[in-house]
A and B are shown apart, each in its own frame.
Chain A
């Protein structure tokens, strides 16, 4: 169990990422190749009748669809290695441009929701865990368990019916008011459009982090160091804030980083509800309209996103937990 140098950790992380990405690309590419949906038909769509057989042959040859899937995979992989993810059919732009643009919009949404759910969930969990089985604890538990079985997109619809339709406080859809160029949208307008989607997206995360923090808090309040502090005349609140808090903060932060995958999934559904032009909506469109290059690109990107979250979680453990310090002991 020797300690690991940052360099070793870096090399290990890069190796892991490379292997993950290779496996994910193989899986994704096989799935996409299996699909009976023809990219040609998806591309031509309505104008099918205006296109002659020769023209169709030309598209097939140009896209390399006449070759074997394995050969296509290596061609695609070679381009990806050079940083070329291909061209999106539905947006008619480079896939990397589409992902970058869309992700920027999603990043706002995800960052707000992620921070909100982290802070709120942690607070609720701590307050519930200080006194196990108190009225407050029980109501928070019921609240969190109920939230955990509510689909995010339905919650979005409910919030929309109440706040946008009934009260008229928030806009119904989009990331900015219609008819205004993206550059002219003010910060407040963006924020105004962000409130409901971010609230929707944070709801799922709140439940998870609350329940987790509560468990840890109860453990901490029953631990030896807490008993010792009680014996010295410390109050419950004192033990909670001076002793327990720093012990339970780390698992909570780690969990929050490790849940980036769910955050991404949640953003797909939330963006669909509020017609928010982010990466999630692009994913759905790519899937529905058969935009294979974009679908491949987004999958790879989301894998990197999830991987980054997990690595951050490992890293934080190493930095903040003196007992671990990058022993590589965080693998399950």
Chain B
């Protein structure tokens, strides 16, 4: 690991300003993903700004009947929160499907959104990777690509976003709140927050240099049966091959988002509209234009079956 300076920020605005003016600076909160990557030389910050003391660790009701989740709320605390379990069970379920108990105790809400892909070629500094080293190529294309994306891919990158939490937030129409280095704030819809790889897979979100996430808000609860179905190689503590976040309403309508298939949590309005017609119709809408590899073509079938299983469970739950 390369040496780095370390300082604690005194306010969100102070953190953003410090990050913007210090070359090679990064924020650190839970640090579970950042330190992992620093140890293998994928991340090489020369300056860490510790944001843990910024008191962004509360879950509060908002005026419109929703909740504001502080950026530093730990994954465990968020999943266990009484309101979240009652009003947004999809979010609790997704959080609990991710990582291990130890990691969830440390990992934060904002950090979870910003975690990097687990593409093995991104991790292997001896391999080309456009995300790690822009212009070096993509070893996953033509390599072992069983875990990789099947929609929204580009010729530069077929990595997936690894988060479970973000998939639930996509289905729940979350909004990301930030503060910029000049002190101004903005709100970004979760649909617009993560980007597709295109020709710049090294860019993963719309955050500007130095911009700090302060909270994630959820609109008022939408009810329905909420399920998160994660398919993975082990029953626990593994990343998703595919995951389905489903909110099913009594009238058969609802929302569906997928994890493990794209560079960002994946949701389509025409797939939501197709839900009453069943898993095949919704799955076809979600995966329209899919570009698979020899290794990951199975995900197309897996998505349809995982969605069918989740819909069946939801109908059983509501019956």
Co-complex (A, B): no
- Chain A interface (Cβ within 8 Å of chain B)? none
- Chain B interface (Cβ within 8 Å of chain A)? none
